[in-house]
Chain A
Amino acid sequence: MCLSIPSKVVKISEDETMCTVDTMGVKRDANLMMMEDGDVSLGDYVLLHIGFVMNKIDEEEALSSIDTYKEILNHMDEEERQRAILEDDECAARGATYTEEIKSNEGT
């Protein structure tokens, strides 16, 4: 679902096509090719969708929604937390079944 926990940009590749984002402690890579060159800087908050940075999020808004998520995530154990954060970037275009799919693909 499009819940969209804001992610913070912590690294940008030299050619500026990829970045590493931190979504409440979970790090992953995201593609920057949908953003104008120089538009995204270290420390910016962004919205992800299927591995791409879709846009920046206003910092103040980002921080306040992160607080809400934090409260919730505090109640989970580490594994649950990771899953919640990773699955957050999900939507109808991929659906809830995909995580299992990928896992089963990896298994084979």
Chain B
Amino acid sequence: MKELELKNLYDDFRDAKTIKAYAKIIAEDAKKLKRPINIMEVCGGHTHTIMKFGLPQLLPSNINFIHGPGCPVCIMPKERIDHAYVLSMQENVILVTLGDMIKIPGSNGSLQDARAKGADVRFVYSPMECIKIAHENPDKKVIFFAIGFETTTPMTAVLVKEVISKKIKNILFHINHVTVPEVMVELIDSRDVHVDSYNNEIDAFLGPSHVSVISGSKIYEKFPKDYERPVVVTGFEPVDAMQGISMIIKQFLEKRCELEIQYKRVVSYDGNLKAQDLINTYFEKMSLFRWRGIGNVPDSGLKLRDEYAQYDAEKVYSSVLPISQIEDHKLCICGDILRGMAKPKECTIFGTACKPTSPVGSCMVSSEGACAAYYKYGNLTFSTTT
């Protein structure tokens, strides 16, 4: 096993002493637990933090992490990627999107492949860059392929608002925004049905702080109340994650089941009301969104409201967009991983046929995906020496 190298830029973003101190508190508290507990981190950002800083190795064996579905890239089903691909191949279209979407294989190939075939696919830092692109290409249609959870949705809403108020005619939207609480419900419910061979019942959740910066912690209220699962909204630095975990354990010891915020420096109960308002003005719930590996989750996706249909690329281009659902490669167990039913190393092609350089499934493509995190950091041990 390699030792974690602190020389690495990001590995330094933490306070080793504090982490060690938390590890001690957790170890002592965990001894008093009556049974092991499984904590699901909903967001890929947390999976990344947990793996990168070797937190599982730091924690007692009765604290188990279950990795959740939470990366906008990982959960994108192939048919939506096919939509992006097909749109990018249309004449006079510039397809604009964010991040790792580029490498995810669809059934015809990835957006990278589309680009190699001559499609104009662009990756931007911020959705607002679409305005400039549209301005510079008045004879083309700019289609923004929007992805992301609650965190990113209001940014797309601002772009919609600008497009409407500035009467920009050549920007369209393909909306793939999804919401976190609905999929959490789905994960809990689906476990009640399955006989659970991994003993991986979800006992508590770490909620991603960035989602709640926008939506507030209130979106998780029903989990302690109706589902008896504590939720702690937690930041992404390793110190934050450790504190969040410690807060969960304390709840179990004190027989509490509550919604708590670890990341109080930016997260409030109500969140950013203006951003929520923007979301509600332009988007409404889709009755179903199919999550990769998880399947149809009621009310978990958003779409443009009907009155903005003229901006909706899914409607405008409906005649060319494929409608069939496409399943993953047979050997790929991303689905089980996203449901928290398996760990990446249980996949028979992990690290062999499937690597970050030649990913088979999205969990390996996305830099926040569980498989990518295990591939990169899975063999590290934790050390606080430099």
Which residues of A approach B to under 8 Å, CB–CB?
1-4, 31, 33-36, 47, 49-52, 54-58, 61-62, 65, 68-69, 72, 75-76, 80, 83-84, 91-98, 101-102, 105
B49: chain A residues within 8 A (beta carbon): 1
Known: A4-B236, A101-B123. A31 touches B128 (CB 8 A): yes
CA distance A1 to B272 in the complex (A): 21
Stretch at the interface among B68-76, B223-231, B285-293, B324-332: B68-76
A54: chain B residues within 8 A (beta carbon): 151, 210, 213-214, 266, 272, 275
CA distance A18 to B235 in the complex (A): 26
CA distance A61 to B240 in the complex (A): 13
Contact yes or no, A98 B125, CB < 8 A: yes
Contact yes or no, A98 B98, CB < 8 A: yes
Size category, B interface: 35 or more
- Verify if B237 is at the interface (C-beta below 8 Å from A): yes
A94: chain B residues within 8 A (beta carbon): 98-100, 125
Nearest Cβ in chain A — how far from B293, in angstroms? 16
CA distance A54 to B274 in the complex (A): 10
CA distance A33 to B272 in the complex (A): 12
- Verify if B135 is at the interface (C-beta below 8 Å from A): no
Contact yes or no, B158 A31, CB < 8 A: yes
Contact yes or no, B265 A92, CB < 8 A: no
Nearest Cβ in chain B — how far from A75, in angstroms? 7
Which residues of B approach A to under 8 Å, CB–CB?
9-10, 12-13, 15, 43-45, 48-49, 70-74, 98-100, 102-103, 122-129, 147-149, 151-152, 154-155, 158, 161, 208-210, 213-214, 235-237, 264-266, 272-275, 278, 366-368
Contact yes or no, B265 A97, CB < 8 A: no
Known: A76-B9, A92-B70, A101-B123. A55 touches B98 (CB 8 A): no
A51: chain B residues within 8 A (beta carbon): 125-129, 155
Contact yes or no, A95 B368, CB < 8 A: yes
Contact yes or no, B213 A47, CB < 8 A: yes
Contact yes or no, A92 B274, CB < 8 A: no
- Per a CB cutoff under 8 Å, which of B15, B125, B154, B266 touches A47? B266
CA distance A58 to B264 in the complex (A): 9
Contact yes or no, A57 B161, CB < 8 A: no
CA distance A91 to B155 in the complex (A): 14
* Complex A-B: 25 CB contacts under 8 Å: A1-B10, A1-B45, A2-B209, A3-B237, A4-B210, A4-B236, A4-B266, A31-B158, A34-B155, A35-B272, A47-B213, A51-B128, A54-B214, A80-B9, A83-B9, A92-B43, A93-B72, A93-B73, A94-B98, A94-B99, A94-B100, A95-B367, A97-B99, A98-B123, A98-B125
The residue in A35, A93, A95 that gathers the most chain B C-beta atoms within 10 A of its C-beta is A93
| Seed contacts A1-B45, A31-B128, A94-B100; 19 additional CB < 8 Å A-B pairs | A1-B49, A1-B368, A3-B236, A31-B126, A34-B154, A35-B274, A51-B128, A52-B154, A55-B213, A58-B266, A62-B265, A68-B15, A72-B12, A80-B9, A91-B151, A92-B45, A92-B48, A95-B368, A105-B122
Contact yes or no, A33 B98, CB < 8 A: no
B13: chain A residues within 8 A (beta carbon): 3, 68-69, 72
Contact yes or no, A55 B100, CB < 8 A: no
B266: chain A residues within 8 A (beta carbon): 4, 47, 54-58
A83: chain B residues within 8 A (beta carbon): 9
Contact yes or no, B123 A34, CB < 8 A: no
A49: chain B residues within 8 A (beta carbon): 151-152, 155, 210, 213
Contact yes or no, B72 A92, CB < 8 A: yes
Nearest Cβ in chain A — how far from B118, in angstroms? 13
CA distance A4 to B74 in the complex (A): 22
Contact yes or no, A55 B272, CB < 8 A: yes
Contact yes or no, A52 B208, CB < 8 A: no
**From B214, which residue of chain A is reached at the shortest CB distance?**
A54
CA distance A94 to B44 in the complex (A): 12
